[in-house]
Amino acid sequence: MDYSLHARIRAGDPEAFRELFRAHAQLVFRHAVRVTGDWATAEDVVSLTFLEAWRLRAKLRDEGESPRPWVMGIAVNVLRNTSRAARRHAAALTRLPAKDKVPDFVDELVGRMADAEELAAAGRALARLRRGEREVFTLCVWSGLNYAEAAQALGVPVGTVRSRLSRTRTRLRKLAAEELTTGRTRPYEPVEPVRGSGQHQGSRTTAARSGEETDR
């Protein structure tokens, strides 16, 4: 019997899942780099996203639809939990005794994608947006999802994506200009989500367990 890719993934076919990974891993990675500003974190997000996709494979919709929105919806939720865990980790580090500072080469790496100063300003401006605005912008503008795909990934109506993206573009231009003008030097850090899921973030597996289970 000739199974479709979607059906084979739902059935747990490893080769079909490898095809899904090969087709979408780079998309998830680029999205995560731009959201977090950190290549190592982005690699973790890719791993966690596809671990969660494997766990939730039975929920992949039937053929006829691209699996891209489904994968990116899981990635968005992983990023929400990863950001929350990063905040808690940073807070814990501030309580440790001071040590000699080790040079951070993240800005140099990110600078390969765009001007470092402008990217940092854009990151700070993004951090000032509401979570819903930030997610719509990064999915549609940075990761290239269309309105319908972003709506499916976020679990909101298409009309909401359209209006939110239009409003966000205007706000982001203004905020980015303010950040460049003020010349702030603080690094960009992901923003704590407005609402938490109440989960403990003690492991990579826990951070992944957000796809289709947390409130979008």
Cβ count near 159 (within 10 Å): 10
What's the pLDDT at 110? Answer: 40
80 falls within a domain: yes
With helix as H, strand as E and coil as C, how does 73-96 read? HHHHHHHHHHHHHHHHHHHHHCCC
Output the domain CATH number for residue 75: 1.10.10.10
* 102-112 tens-digit pLDDT: 344 444 444 44
153, two tokens = 């990934």
Residue 85 has pLDDT above 70, yes or no: no
Q: Which distant-in-sequence residues (6+ apart) come within 8 Å of 204 by Cβ?
A: 44, 47, 48, 51
Q: Please count the structural domains in the chain.
A: 1
Q: For the chain, what percent of residues have pLDDT higher than 70?
A: 65
105 falls within a domain: yes
Cα 153 from Cα 210, distance rounded (Å): 13
